Every structure is written in C-alpha cells, then in structure tokens.
Amino acid sequence: DGRAILSKTGHAFIKEIMRSEDAIYGGEMSAHHYFKDFAYCDSGMIPWLLVTALMCESGKTLAQLVDERMMAYPCSGEINTKLEDPVAAIDRIYARFKGEATHEDRTDGLSLSFADRWRFNIRMSNTEPVLRLNVETNGDEALMLEKRDQILEIIKIN
C-alpha cells in the first residue's frame, strides 16, 4: 500500500520529500529512480532488476508489459519547446482550460486534470530554456492526441 506524493522536479526536491515522508521510492519522468534503501540515491540498475523480476513472474516480455501500460494510460511523452516568453504561454493555456478543469495543482508548473479522463502538466525546465509538456489520458489515445495538439497550438501563439 502506497500513496503518491507530488514534488517539484529535481533530485534535491525529491530527496527532501522522500526523507520527510519516509518514502521508499521516488521517480521522475526523466527516468531517475530514487530508493530509500539505496541512501535515496538515483539508480537505474534497481528498476531494471525489478522489471526483470516482473517479467520472470508474469511470463511476459518487456514489450508486452510496456504495451499494456501504454494502452491503459496513453501519454505524449515529454515535449520540449523553446520559447521567448514561456510564462505567457502557460498563462494562455491556463486561460483556455481552467474552466473545464476538475483539479489544479501548481507543485511543479501547471497541472490540470479533467474528470478523470485526461490531464496535463506544463512547466519551465529547471536546467534548459524550454517549456516541457506532458499529456496523459485514461485509455483514450485519440483524446490524448487531440489535447496534445490543442495545447501545442496555444504554445505556438506569439
């Protein structure tokens, strides 16, 4: 039994939250994985050992396991866009979608959720001059593509 705890992106923020909450695991979209039993350090080896164990127990290939997750939760992947004024782009996106959103979170950029059907996060990078967008849905790839394209069109407006 576990619960998700949001944190800002970046190892310093994640490790701080993990310690304060006594969390056993923390992860980022960038494939960084932190483990309490590994001194809260980033490790790529531990996740691969866990995935290998899951493959052995389930009898499924890695491709099958990934396909199951991708079908259940289609996602855009992180889309990076260089902009002169990223704050204005975030403001435009918020103005367009705030009325439809059922949940808003500003832990790390702007995250809006819509009736458990889809959600997105858009944030400025901590390390590069780019805006980062992630769009996810619950089992509806067409909806994910539609919303991804809508948001990207708003980002392109100068």
Residues with Cβ within 8 Å of 125's Cβ and at least 6 positions away in sequence, in order, are 80, 131, 132
Q: Which residues contact 157 (CB under 8 A, 6 or more apart)?
A: 89, 92
Full-model pTM: 0.78
Q: Which of 85, 106, 76, 79 lies closest to 94, judged by CA? A: 106
Q: For residues 115 and 102, is the Cβ–Cβ distance under 8 A?
A: yes
- The arithmetic mean of pLDDT across residues 44-73, rounded, is 96
Q: Which CATH number is 73-156's, of 3.40.630.30, 3.10.310.40, 3.30.360.10, 3.30.310.50?
A: 3.30.310.50
pLDDT of amino acid 56:
98
- The residue-averaged pLDDT of 58-75 equals 96
Residues 25-46, mean pLDDT to the nearest whole number: 90
Map out the domains of the chain as residue ranges.
11-59, 73-156
Kind of pairing between the strands at 41-42 and 25-27:
unpaired
Q: Is the pLDDT of residue 109 over 70?
A: yes
Q: What is the pLDDT of residue 45?
A: 93
CA dist 113 and 80 (Å) reads: 20
> Per the structure block, which two tokens stand in for 9?
């992106």
* CATH level 2 (architecture), domain 11-59: 3-Layer(aba) Sandwich (3.40)
Q: What is the pLDDT of residue 10?
A: 86
The answer to whether 16 touches 26, Cβ cutoff 8 Å, is: no
